[in-house]
Homo-oligomer: A and B are copies of this chain.
Amino acid sequence: MTRRRVRWLAERRVFEGFLTGKGPEWELKRLAMEEVAVAYDNSLAVKAGVQLLLWGNTVKALGTKRHHDEWLKATEDYKIMGCFAMTELGHGSNVRGLETVATYDARKAEFVINTPCETAQKYWIGGAANDATHAVVFTQLHMNGQNQGVHAFIVQIRDANGNVLPNIRIADCGHKIGLNGVDNGRIWFDNVRVPRENMLNSVADVTADGQYLSDIKDPDRRSAAFMSPLTSGRVTVAATAIYSAKICLSIAIRYALTRRAFSITPNGPEMLLLDYPSHQRRLLPLLAKTYAMNFAGNYLKVIYVNRTPQSIKNLHVVSSALKIAFTWHNMRTLQECREACGGQGMKTENRIGQMKGDFDPQSTYEGDNSYMTQQVSKSLLAEYAATKKQNKPFNGLGLEHLNGPSPVLPSHLTSTILRSSHFQVEAFRLRERDLLNRFAAEVEDYQAKGETKEGAFLQTYQLAQDLARAFADRMTLDTFIEVEARVSAGSLKEVLGLVRSMYAVVCMEEDASFLRYGYLSPQNDAAVRKEVAKLCSELRPHALALVNSFGIPDAFLSPISYDWIQENSWSSAKL
């Protein structure tokens, strides 16, 4: 069904220009398409994403003109179907550890690709099990007895009739708890030969007579260049995670505005779920976070489509940090919404439960969140160390605030102060700065005790996790405030202010760092907690407008979003 849906869209030329169009607006369109597809079904979004991003964009990013001419238009038009064969059974996050091998046969000017052992089988390859005719295959490149590191090749895996080609074996990955509309497969290569020209050669190349050429001499840095296509995947994952959160919050909040339970007066009417302060506390902070992350996600999209060779490094850090924050937020929101809808949340027709399965892989694919958390903090520390060493001001990643003095928060927090964006920014900056200092000191401390740098990073995971979160939160708050500044005074700005304050205070309530490291005294933490409850009651009247303004079409919500009594009536059951 997913294949037919993708083809249906392709026949209507929905994807035209996504790879061949010039300029950032084409990438923004493609991202918008992914978000809209998610509103319908994440399998559809991923299936299209495999073709246009993982395959198409990689050919574009790692290939050169000959590849672009041959594949980009064909990909948009679905003349061929591509897949992205990077992950192996034995190696996911550790791409440098891939075991598939390519060697070069100069006599025939061909590369020979092999799966030398079972752990080298390509695994989880979306599109491989049934549909893909071509793959971009990541392998170690062995040249003249030397391993040049990870490189990428275009390999045809099926003929035009869908038959698997000789020397290639393919199996399905089996049933999954979500995304079963995507045909994830496994691939083994047995001396598969491809022409020299199939090497994606923007980073490195091999001449016909077998000379290896690259401007990047360090194999590790070359491998890193081959991983750059993952960034576009991360941006897409981040954007679609927020869309998922919007959908499930729209459903759960609409249900909470029609479902009643208990009365609090002897013979009074039952109360709406959303009139319970505890139910507000379950949903409204997640709604505020979704708004905040939506703005940060838009910022991420903009810096992504305007990327330059100079900005790639920072883009990698920002996209990783936000991908982590957004995908975990989405999973948490889905679970909370599922439970907030009671048994109805268990029904597949109500979407939330189904989406839990479909979005679950987001926290481990395109970079495992847990692993990437430490990578983000390592990158921040590298920036920190380089800046200190060169004795120059911080510039980039929003870290410029570190150039000024450390913020001093007011000793007594009132509701007015808690809602001021100035205070919120200062509190988030203080946390980020302090955690960065602590992390740097702890890593140094371990090294002073004789640990290697890598060993020190292993031990300091607690602060690394705190710091990555503080970085994502601060960046998210910054983008919210920028958006707010562009809105002219009026009721919209007022509501946005409430939403932003909710985002800020609930982050403070939920991250123990604020108390642990004394950014907030216990008295001020009590004020924060009270403010969360207060903001819940103030946001309550705006809840419906806030989810309606996500603009999810009615048909993409679920029965409990509307007249669920009618939907569950006997007359509907008979249909």
B345 touches A364 (CB 8 A): yes
CB distance from A70 to the nearest CB of B (A): 31
Q: Contacts A97-B262, A343-B361; is A516 near B515 (CB within 8 Å)?
A: yes
User: For the complex, what is the distance from the CA of A535 to the CA of B360, rounded to whole Å?
Assistant: 30
* A454 contacts chain B at the CB level, 8 A cutoff: yes
* A410 contacts chain B at the CB level, 8 A cutoff: no
B186 touches A573 (CB 8 A): yes
A570 touches B512 (CB 8 A): no
CB distance from A389 to the nearest CB of B (A): 24
Interface size counted on chain A using CB atoms at 8 A:
87
Partner of A461, one of B262, B281, B454, B568: B281
Contacts of A369 on B, CB cut-off 8 Å?
339
Contacts of A119 on B, CB cut-off 8 Å?
565
Contacts of A365 on B, CB cut-off 8 Å?
343
B92 touches A342 (CB 8 A): yes
Most chain-B CB neighbours within 10 Å: which of A186, A282, A364, A369?
A: A364
B342 touches A368 (CB 8 A): yes
Q: Contacts A276-B458, A529-B462, A568-B121; is A515 near B517 (CB within 8 Å)?
A: no
CB distance from A363 to the nearest CB of B (A): 6
User: For the complex, what is the distance from the CA of A119 to the CA of B570, rounded to whole Å?
Assistant: 11
Contacts of A339 on B, CB cut-off 8 Å?
363-364, 368-370
* A518 contacts chain B at the CB level, 8 A cutoff: yes
Closest residue of B by beta carbon distance from A460: B277
Q: Contacts A261-B93, A264-B452, A570-B169; is A357 near B364 (CB within 8 Å)?
A: no
* A348 contacts chain B at the CB level, 8 A cutoff: yes
* A374 contacts chain B at the CB level, 8 A cutoff: yes
Partner of A515, one of B94, B97, B343, B515: B515
A347 touches B522 (CB 8 A): no
Residues in A lying within 8 Å of B, measured CB to CB: 87, 89-94, 97, 118-119, 121, 123-124, 169, 171, 173-179, 186, 188, 260-262, 264-265, 270, 276-279, 281-282, 331, 335, 338-340, 342-343, 345-349, 353-354, 356-357, 360-361, 363-365, 368-371, 374, 452, 454-455, 458-459, 461-462, 465, 512, 515-518, 522, 525-526, 529, 533, 565-566, 568-570, 573-574
23 A–B contacts, CB within 8 A, in A order = A89-B568, A92-B261, A97-B261, A118-B565, A118-B569, A174-B349, A175-B347, A175-B348, A175-B349, A176-B346, A178-B353, A188-B570, A264-B452, A264-B454, A339-B363, A339-B369, A346-B364, A353-B360, A356-B356, A356-B357, A356-B360, A516-B522, A516-B529
New A-B pairs, 14, CB < 8 Å, besides A90-B260, A346-B364:
A89-B565, A92-B342, A94-B270, A171-B574, A173-B347, A178-B353, A264-B454, A277-B458, A278-B370, A278-B458, A281-B461, A343-B361, A515-B515, A516-B526
